[in-house]
Amino acid sequence: MLDVVEKARFVWTFLRLTRDPNRLDLVFKLADGLDPSRRPEVQKMMARPEVRRALDAGVPVPRIDLPTLRALPEDSFGRAVAAFFDRQGFDPTGLHHTPLSEGSDFERFKLHMERTHDLWHVLTGFDTDVPGELGLQAFGIAQLGTPLGYVLLAAGFLHQIGDSTDGERLLAEVSRGWHLGRTARPLFGADWEPLFPRPLAEVRAR
């Protein structure tokens, strides 16, 4: 009975997300429902060599201190990160969901992904609108095979049925994300803080 209830909740959350793909709270609910002990697709992702290596080495959690980043050189990665948060009106601490504590491998995976998601936006150049977010999800699927990425892509495409104004751009961004993710070095597990003072162009090339 519990499985039926959990599946019903998952479907209901998914359907609500198709109506408004910008609902971050619904994204967190879907992520929380991906229990690796009961989801073979999550187990497969966690067993990927690049994920395993990063977790075994200890995935660092970057500290986003906007005043410090704003003081970095104009062309630096960190300055671009600060500009991104300022432009979006984001509070870095307000985007956190998973507690900052030692836990299971999957909790540490989620924590790192949550705290670095916006850094991926800056590095890859994907916007935060629906096409940009789906492009970044395609990037993540190419790099990690993340099951949540497939769920979010499905929700985004279903949302697009009712609003086809960005249809071609959405497809272009998803395609770009997939190809970029396949060719770029793995971003999961990267130690971002030492890269903040470096030029953005250099970090992208690296």
Distances 88 to 21, 30, 130, 139 between C-alpha atoms, Å: 17, 24, 14, 21
Cα separation, 82 vs 145, whole angstroms: 29
Q: Express each pLDDT in 158-169 by its tens digit.
A: 888 766 677 889
Q: Express each pLDDT in 49-82 by its tens digit.
A: 999 999 998 888 898 999 999 999 999 999 999 9
